[in-house]
Amino acid sequence: MTFRLPMAVAACGVLGLSACTDPAQLNPDTNYTRDNAIVGGALGTVAGLAATGGRAKGALAGAAIGAGAGALIGNQMDKQAAALRQSIGDNRIIINQQGDVLVVTLPQDILFDVDSTAVRADLQDELRALALNLNEFPDTTAQVVGHTDNTGDATYNQDLSVRRAQTVSNIIAANGVAPTRLTALGRGEDAPVASNLSEEGRAQNRRVDILIRPAST
């Protein structure tokens, strides 16, 4: 009985890592397997100690369980990230990773014409490649998030970001990804990654982010 509790707590701790991830601060060199194993081991140690009143055996068991769970998740996400980088041919599309979240950033200016919600024809292939990747790794979900700069009316920007996110999500679904694995939302101008005081910064803020996570998180 005392062994099952740290297993459950450690697993929950590892699977909850994505809640701490800030997509604006992702490190492209992160190794999922290594980092999830380290964090999972630490969480498992705490869980083991708590479940056994501080006894060393509980700490060791919890550490092993947590590290194993974290490494398993991390290994799958490492593989998915590598496969996606190989299949995406447009170097303007940025693929970053940290923890158990893989973020694909598509600059809005390569996806859409001004004030349009129709994805440009030359980007359709890249979204198809992303959909194939999601189907190759079915134990993940994707959240599509639209963003704008702060030019113009905030309400209009919010609505535009929602419609563009939904368009991208629909294309991914049309290429075989189950709609239950997809969510779409718009953040408008509320989540900039650069200053809106320059054209370069505004261009960075106009984007669609696709956040890929393990399905259980």
Chain-wide mean pLDDT for the chain? 80
Residue 38, pLDDT above cutoff 80: no
pTM tops 0.75: no
d(CA 96, CA 93): 10
pLDDT tens for each residue of 174-187: 999 999 999 999 99
Compare 169 and 122 and report the one with higher pLDDT: 169
Residue 210, pLDDT above cutoff 90: yes
The beta-strand segments (E) located in the chain are 94-98, 101-107, 140-147, 182-186, 207-214
Q: How far is CA 160 from CA 11, 106, 115, 150, 182, in A?
A: 38, 16, 8, 12, 19
Place of tokens 């956040």: 211
Q: What is the pLDDT of residue 12?
A: 46
The domains of the chain, with CATH numbers, are 73-214 (3.30.1330.60)
